[in-house]
Amino acid sequence: MLATPFALIVALIGNSLFTSVFSGYGIGLSLPLSTVASVLENHQLSVVMHNSPGVQVFYPEYMTMIFNAFNWVFFLGVVMYVVFFTVAFYGIKERFALGALSLSLANVLFLASSYLWLPLVFQNAVGNVGFWIYIVSLYIVLYLSTHDMLPFKQAWVFTLTFLGGMMFGLFTEGNILVDTVKGGIPASLLLTNPSMLEAGAIMVVLIGILAMGGVTAVSYEILFKNSLEKWKLERHSRAKSQKKKATLQI
């Protein structure tokens, strides 16, 4: 209970970075859009970046990065997916229906958010046979892990989760702002732009503080508070036993 709020906040921040890189929501352009589009169309971006390595092409808009509809709908999908992940990972047969329902809701939310805000991703997904094979595989693994002794079920679940993340990046074709700039802007530029690196550092520090806060709170509750109560009960029981023994001797 203590760890849950911290985990959700950390997950939301991480999800916000993920969705912003692929969608462009929360990523501002310090150069005029027409200039960026022109440079991209003429394949001169590498030349410009080489000649002016300190140029700030992008800058973070933190409020927009976190508080945009696509980010929140996608995050709800991630939360639903975590429920499926937990059921499949531990093979909880009694929760199979919950796992299947959560997985279905996650898929609907992922597709709906992509359809509304990232149409390129949606079209690439639904038109790809591999995507549907992947979806069916999730349900198969869920059933086998909860009803049969599926060997290495944890490895299967982790592998499918990793493939899902890789697939989402593949469906974006490695670009952001595809609806604004013809052909989009390579998402890899966000990884080398100074202002975005600074934004990433701030986010990582914030995640670290929250994670440490969560670990500290849980450690206090489990390792200290509960242990202290247990020690008090044992001491009280020992004192009571010694008193009873002394009374019998008398």
Taking the C-alpha atoms of residue 81 and residue 78, their distance in angstroms, rounded to an integer, is: 5
User: Which tokens is 216 given?
Assistant: 């500290």
User: Which tokens is 151 given?
Assistant: 């060997």
**Which pLDDT value is given to residue 155?**
92
User: Which residues, in sequence order, are CB contacts of 222 under 8 Å at separation 6+?
Assistant: none
Q: What are phi and psi of 181, to 5 degrees?
A: -110, 130
Q: Categorize the per-residue pLDDT at 192 as very low, low, confident or very high, splitting at 50, 70 and 90.
A: low
**Which pLDDT value is given to residue 1?**
66
Taking the C-alpha atoms of residue 165 and residue 168, their distance in angstroms, rounded to an integer, is: 5
Q: Alpha helices of the chain — where are they, by DSSP H? A: 3-23, 33-41, 45-51, 62-66, 69-90, 96-117, 119-126, 129-147, 153-171, 194-219, 226-249
User: What is the model's pTM?
Assistant: 0.72
**Which pLDDT value is given to residue 179?**
61
